[in-house]
Each structure stands twice: as C-alpha cells, then as structure tokens.
C-alpha cells in the first residue's frame, strides 16, 4: 500500500476519528480518497481541504465512477443505500480494522489496547518515538496536541507503526503487533461480548497475537509468557512512585531494570502516570535511552478531549474530556478534584449508548455523584435504537445528590452562561464535542 497512484479508495464513515486517520494515510500514499459521512464536521472539512471528496447524502449516484476497494466503519448502518449499491457491484469491501491490519503487517508495530487510556498512551508512545528521532507512523484515536493530528506519517516504508488497538467488535484481533500494551480491561461493549469473561478472553487472544513483549498493567488477567508488568505495586517489573502532583503537573519516578528514572509529566491523575509508565516501557523495547524518554514525556501536550484544559484564567476553569465509561469518569473527576480542590465542580455529561447506560446504570449513578452539580444531556444513541425505560432522566433519578438536572442541547449554552460555574467539566463520547469551542469562547468573556 505504499504506492496507490491511479487507485481509488471509498470510505463509508470517513469522518470518524479512526477512519479519517486511515484516509490521510492512504491519501499520503498516492491513492485517490473519497467518502461519505452523515454530517460535516471539522475533521471532514479538513479532509476536504487536503484534497479528498466527501458528500453527506446517502445517494449511490454520488459514488465515484471507479472504486478499487471500500473501507467502512461498523458505526455506519448496514442498510445504507450506498452499501447495497457497492455490494451489488462486487467491489472489495473491508472493515477499517481489516484495512489497518494490512497496514500493520508492513511495519514493526507497537499496539496499545485497553478499555480506556489507549488514546493518551498511543499519543505518548508516538511522541516519545518521534521526539527521540525514530521514524514513526502513528494512528491515534484522537487529535494529539503535539502533532495537531490523529496521524503521524513516517518518512520511509520501514517506519515503526504505533497504533491504537480497539477492542470494539474485536477489531484489534486483525492487527499484527510486535510489542503491545494492555492498560485496562473493565467491562464494556457488552452488546458485543455478552459478558466480561468473553471480553477478557478477547484481550488474551490479542496478547497471543503479539510477537514480542506484552506490557500489562498489574492485576489484569492476561496469561502470557512474554509479559512485563507495570503499576504502583512492589511486585511489578516497572513500578511508578509519585513524588508530587499539583497544578496539572506530576513528578514521579519509574523504577525498573535496576534503575530509577525521574519523570515530570505535564498532566494530572494517577491513570496518566500509569499511561506514561507503559509508554516508557514500550520505548525501552526498541532501546531508546531512559533519560531521553523522560525528556520527551516532559514535552507531551496531551490529546484533545482527554483532560483537555480549555480555560485556565484564575477566575474560571474549563476542562473537556472524552470519558464515557464509569471508570474513565471516576479517573477524570478524581484528577480534576485533586488539581482544583477548592473549586466547586459542575459536570455536564452526555451518556453514550442506551446499552452502556443500561448495563452500568448503578455505576454511572455512583461516579457522577462525585461532582458538586450535575447536568445530564440526552443519551447519544450512535448506532443504537432507544431502549424502553433507559433515559437520562432515569439515570438522574438514581444519582444521590441535590444539585442535578437534565438539559437539552439547545438549552446548554444559555444555562452555563446564567450559572457561570467556576470549574466546568464537559464529558462524553457523543456530539458534546460540538459545544467545546462555543463554551470556551463564552467562558473567556466572563
């Protein structure tokens, strides 16, 4: 796939964070790239500006005259008219995970898996390798601030590939990792896996695919002869010891290989210390000097929508985060409260998927109560139809706190403007991201 000149790839759901990175990769290798998405977004507009043709109407007439193969995301409904037309034309159609797997076959690949933490860790590994002079191609499930992109393009065909390994739909089992990281296995995607046992088995299958070392957080049920354990515990191969954490900066030490490495990470939260430790170990697997890794981590700028501090002007603070699973929410809110202990925390949360809200109703109710004021938007359905009795109001009724309410998206800006919270957090994996820039601009006017 290193020279696609004269070939056309059509992408269904091209505006997704993973699909757009793949589209950019193909485009950079000479392919003509076109695609469909349901609605325009900043990402699709960027792709168009880069020379890709995108339309937003499900209409087979708008398909390119010649297509060599099609890549689609499972988030796209199977009953699209374009899908049916492409099938009838006997064009090769593959999932994004299959296409990414074919790319990973051509590179030495470091794959980062986990039910959460994988985007930040992927961006960390990519930044470390790039900062340390390694030719790197990286597919990141978010916009890495160091690159201002979800894709880092290597200069040569033998560049090291860093890739986020997505467990949804067992996608990560298509990859061919040489080194892998598994940093969390919390029950999620139960609409796919049925129960936690099958989810854990899938992560073990992923570990078995790994040719070299499997870097595993302590306590995870991963069975491998090639494991490297990391965490805060004494029994770990690499142990993190936190020295201090304040104002969004964490100083800690990584103890491993009979050596101590001091790290200053410009991020808050124990979970980010663990992400950085895993990234450190991955870089050591390709013989990067420990002190050089620490220097790179000190210049890591994070990922958009991952503990993303948008306003910090001493009067008001605004943080945006992608968290959509109870454990992610707990990690984020705990880090926010540790960073701003004197501030009253107002949380705007948009639940993602009816099935996830149903499966973790009690857990969501518990962690959302960590905020001082809760504003719930309607559930973002993504690929799902409504489930009877599963609503934001039903979730709100279970949250044991006084200052709570539901809110429509149309009301949100005016509500925030009237309340002027001193510490605002927006959170969720749906379309709540459309409010980030308007809220940032609004808060800066107060």
CB 320 within 8 A of CB 426: yes
Q: Within a 10 A sphere around the Cβ of 299, how many other Cβ atoms?
A: 12
Read off the pLDDT of residues 49-66 as tens digits, 9 standing for 90 and up: 999 999 999 999 999 999
Per-residue pLDDT, 188: 58
Point out the residues of the chain with pLDDT beneath 50.
1
CB 127 within 8 A of CB 280: no
Read off the pLDDT of residues 220-252 as tens digits, 9 standing for 90 and up: 999 998 999 999 999 999 999 999 987 778 999
Residues in Cβ contact with 304 at an 8 Å cutoff, skipping those fewer than 6 apart: 142, 143, 144, 145
Which helix (H) or strand (E) element contains residue 245? strand 238-246
CB 249 within 8 A of CB 266: yes
Pairing status of strand 92-95 against strand 32-36: unpaired
Kindly state the tokens that stand for 388: 């009877």
Domains identified in the chain and CATH numbers: 8-95 (3.40.50.720), 107-297 (3.40.1190.10), 308-443 (3.90.190.20)
Predicted TM-score (pTM) of the model is: 0.83
Per-residue pLDDT, 23: 96
CB 382 within 8 A of CB 305: no
Burial (CB count <10 Å: 0-12, 13-18, 19+), residue 243? exposed
| Spatial separation of the C-alpha atoms in residues 66 and 22, rounded to whole Å | 20
Picking from 237, 262, 261, the residue whose alpha carbon sits closest to that of residue 250 is: 262
Per-residue pLDDT, 187: 63
| Spatial separation of the C-alpha atoms in residues 301 and 293, rounded to whole Å | 15
Per-residue pLDDT, 78: 86
Per-residue pLDDT, 240: 98
């Amino acid at each position: 796939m290193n020279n696609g000149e004269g070939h056309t790839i059509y992408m269904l759901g091209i505006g997704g964070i993973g699909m757009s990175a793949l589209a950019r990769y193909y485009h950079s290798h000479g392919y003509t790239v076109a695609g469909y998405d349901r609605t325009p977004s900043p990402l699709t507009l960027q792709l168009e500006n880069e020379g890709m043709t995108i339309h937003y109407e499900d209409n087979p007439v708008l398909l390119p005259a010649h297509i060599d193969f099609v890549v689609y995301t499972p988030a796209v409904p199977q009953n699209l008219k374009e899908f049916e037309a492409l099938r009838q034309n006997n064009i090769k159609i593959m999932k994004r995970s299959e296409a990414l797997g074919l790319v990973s076959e051509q590179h030495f690949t470091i794959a980062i898996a986990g039910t959460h933490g994988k985007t930040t860790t992927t961006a960390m590994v990519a930044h470390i390798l790039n900062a340390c002079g390694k030719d790197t191609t990286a597919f990141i499930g978010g916009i890495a601030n160091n690159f201002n992109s979800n894709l880092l393009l290597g200069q040569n065909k033998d560049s090291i590939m860093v890739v986020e390994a997505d467990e949804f739909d067992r996608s990560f089992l298509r990859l061919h990792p040489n080194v892998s990281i598994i940093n969390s296995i919390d029950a999620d995607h139960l609409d796919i896996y049925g129960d936690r046992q099958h989810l854990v088995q899938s992560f073990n299958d992923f570990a078995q695919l790994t040719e070299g070392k499997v870097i595993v957080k302590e306590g995870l049920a991963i069975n491998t002869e090639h494991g490297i354990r990391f965490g805060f515990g004494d029994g770990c191969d690499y142990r993190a010891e936190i020295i201090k954490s304040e104002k969004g900066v964490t100083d800690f030490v990584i103890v491993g290989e009979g050596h101590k490495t001091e790290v200053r990470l410009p991020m808050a939260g124990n979970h980010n210390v663990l992400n950085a430790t895993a990234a450190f170990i991955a870089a050591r697997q390709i013989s990067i000097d420990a002190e050089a890794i620490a220097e790179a981590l000190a210049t890591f700028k994070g990922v958009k929508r991952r503990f993303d501090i948008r306003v910090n002007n001493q009067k008001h603070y605004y943080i945006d985060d992608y968290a959509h699973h109870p454990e992610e929410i707990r990690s984020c809110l705990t880090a926010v409260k540790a960073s701003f202990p004197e501030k009253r925390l107002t949380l705007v949360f948009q639940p993602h998927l009816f099935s996830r809200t149903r499966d973790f109703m009690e857990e969501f109710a518990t962690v959302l109560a960590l905020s001082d004021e809760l504003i719930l938007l309607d559930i973002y359905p993504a690929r799902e139809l409504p489930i009877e009795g599963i609503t934001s109001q039903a979730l709100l009724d279970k949250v044991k706190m006084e200052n709570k309410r539901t809110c429509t998206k149309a009301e949100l800006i005016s509500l925030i403007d009237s309340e002027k919270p001193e510490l605002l957090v927006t959170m969720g994996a749906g379309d709540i991201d459309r409010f980030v820039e308007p809220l940032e601009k609004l808060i800066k006017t107060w």
